[in-house]
Structure 1
């Protein structure tokens, strides 16, 4: 199964939007993310519904930030893109009647739930602006990238 990269791609796009000279079209964002414009529109629909971005149709239109990156947390983005799985599912259900499998699954499920709670708590503390700051530092230091 292919990993779900919606969150990473969305964060990538939001940071580029911060430094864009104007609206960015779905086509421009799709080219940058190496995907299809339909995927970008689908990804951004949740962000638009939450009020983080807006879009305008027609010549000169595209996606723009509706809120500063300092007001958008990783948790906000995670929720807006549909709460993709944070971890792969390592719980087996080959033999649900097996007591060993039940014991293993109970422990793994509890551990995953605890790890997920910790990760979401961290997501709530980090803004997209904090990520953008790391980008600015890298540029200032002369590191290359896109």
Structure 2
């Protein structure tokens, strides 16, 4: 099973736009962002559409088209980004109900739900403590 990089790419996109705007640019194109993230602009546009729906980014059409942040990096947490792109639970139970006559089948859902709920709560707490400004400052320190 491969790891999901959507949160990483979304944080990259928003942090890049924030830095780009700080450097005096009004909007960033998906092509520019895609170059930084080494991916296809279509992937960036799809991701930015989700971020726009969540109120984290906005787009301008026509002459000077591109993307902007809707708020400062210091006002966007990794939890905000996570919620925008991963609206469902982190873990899922069986798609089909397990055999209720089996002791494991009848008990696996409740046993794992408690664990999964705790893991997800810890994840959300941790993500809420880091803003994209924190991420940018770490990046700039390392550069």
Any residues of structure 2 matched to 1:1-146 within 5 Å, and which?
A: 2-20=2-20, 21=23, 22=25, 23-83=27-87, 86-87=90-91, 89=92, 95-97=98-100, 98-139=102-143
| Runs of 4+, deviation exceeding 6 Å | none
Gaps of 5+ in 2: none
Per the TM alignment, residue 124 of structure 1 is displaced from its structure 2 partner at its CA by: 2.0
TM-score normalised according to structure 1 size: 0.77
Q: Deviations over 1:83-119 (max 9, x none)?
A: 26535x5869684332123334422221011110121
Q: CA RMSD in A?
A: 2.6
Gaps of 5+ in 1: 140-146
TM-score normalised according to structure 2 size: 0.78
- Matched residues, number: 138
